[in-house]
Amino acid sequence: MINGLGFTLGELMLARHGGTWVFVTDSFGRTPAIQRIANGSVTYALDAVSKRLRDNSHAEAELLSFAEVYSQCS
């Protein structure tokens, strides 16, 4: 369910601000992310949701600010 919410957040951010899904691979593994076409910046929507929902933080406010940061990456 948490990954589904992260995917939904990513899709909403892409629909509103543009970009595409990519996979980022490093020495720890492979993870999905969204990338702005204009400048190539990468944002980890699934990880952002997962980390905020698993530690009882203030996810509602934090995820809105996370989406705002993505919108300004141009």
| Residue 70 burial (CB count, 10 A) | 22
Alpha-carbon distance of 61 to 19, in angstroms, equals 23
The string of pLDDT tens digits covering residues 46-70 is 888 887 777 666 666 666 676 777 7
Range of the domain at 17: 2-71
The string of pLDDT tens digits covering residues 18-51 is 999 999 999 999 999 999 988 888 999 888 888 7
The stretch 2-16 carries a mean pLDDT of 88
H or E element that contains 43? strand 42-43
Number of domains in the chain: 1
- At 57, is the secondary structure helix, strand, or coil? coil
- At 15, is the secondary structure helix, strand, or coil? helix
pTM of the model: 0.71
